[in-house]
Amino acid sequence: MSIKKKLSVFFTLLVLCILLANNTLHYIRSKNRLIEFNKKEITLVTEEIAYEVENSKNSASYMENRMAQELRTASIAIQDSLPADYHDVSNDQLKRLAKKLMISHITLLAPAGDDIIGVKSSDPKEINISTKEWGYWYTSFRQLLSQQTITTKKGVTLPHFWSGPIEVASSNPNHIDKWGYYYDGSTNYIIDPYFRDRHVLDFEKRFGPTNVMNRFTENLEGVLELTVFNPKNFGKRNQNVYLNGNKYIKIKDQPIWYGTYTYRNTERDKKSIQEVLKTGKSQSYLAEINHKKVLKTLVQKNCSKN
């Protein structure tokens, strides 16, 4: 769980890799004729996929908001179960409470000088974690502690509560989390319950764009693969983030946003993507990739990661 801002962020590329059977190539011998033969069909399919992906993103956004509401409800239950001073809370107590409430973990965040750190947690990697370099997340924590209105447009804001978007965990980049943060002034800490991996990925699997794209590849004869590239970062050096001693790539900066990229041809695809962005016209080429003769078409569509 997971489904994601950025210069070209409102442009994505849907890539259709179409396996052309040998007998088809036998009857349609000309490369140019073959591309023209498929161009109209590919355009229609791409339009339908883009429409379905956008609808699935709306459904995913709705479900992510529901997850945020669940985290707020959990936060209130956590507050009712814990002392007001984090010094009186144990990490084992948070583990038991997380299990009881059926959430992945609970972290308590508190001010420490000009920083806000994890002071107690059911996850050992969250303890002493710094949030000072977290950008709008840190700003949101400061606003919560001051009981001000959260100004960021990202995530979900509810009374005394803010939930950031689904993201790679900076405390442990092997995980993807959905967090919630609650503070009403009655404790000396922010309550941070969150869902991890299975909960988040199950939600993405059921409602995210990848689910829609998988249905197309399963049901459309000849379509091998669908990929949504991040045109800003694909084929370039990774935009690594270095926080809390870890290195990772934020979801919005990953070169592939949705789908798979099994039929890799990075240098050729990079050039095609730039040509699509420059001209606004789709680009197609024939190639042998993974021992299959494929027609790969790159098409620009309006979309966004988040």
Please name which of 30, 58, 56, 33 lies closest in space to residue 215, comparing C-alpha atoms: 56
Under a CB-based contact definition with an 8 Å cutoff, are residues 176 and 195 in contact?
no
pLDDT digits (tens, 9 = 90+) for 150-180: 999 888 999 999 998 887 777 777 888 899 9
Q: How many CB atoms lie within 10 A of CB 201?
A: 17
The structure tokens listed for 259 are 């789908």
| Average pLDDT score, the chain | 79
Section 106-110 average pLDDT: 98
- pLDDT on residue 166: 85
Query: At residue 112, does pLDDT exceed 90?
Result: yes
Query: At residue 138, does pLDDT exceed 70?
Result: yes
In degrees and rounded to multiples of 5, residue 119 shows phi and psi of -95, -30
State the amino acid at position 243 in one-letter form: L
pLDDT digits (tens, 9 = 90+) for 63-93: 788 889 999 999 999 999 999 999 999 999 9
Question: Cα(118)–Cα(126) distance, rounded to whole angstroms?
Answer: 6
Question: Cα(189)–Cα(254) distance, rounded to whole angstroms?
Answer: 33
- Which long-range CB contacts under 8 A does 40-45 form with residues at least 24 apart? 42/16, 42/18, 42/282, 42/284, 42/297, 42/299, 43/282, 43/299, 45/16, 45/216, 45/220, 45/223
pLDDT digits (tens, 9 = 90+) for 194-248: 998 776 666 666 666 777 777 777 776 777 888 888 888 887 776 665 666 666 5
pLDDT digits (tens, 9 = 90+) for 10-56: 334 444 443 444 444 444 444 555 455 566 666 666 777 777 667 66
Under a CB-based contact definition with an 8 Å cutoff, are residues 110 and 117 in contact?
yes
The structure tokens listed for 252 are 């919005």
Q: How many CA atoms does the CB half-sphere of 294 hold within 13 Å? A: 22
- pLDDT on residue 1: 39
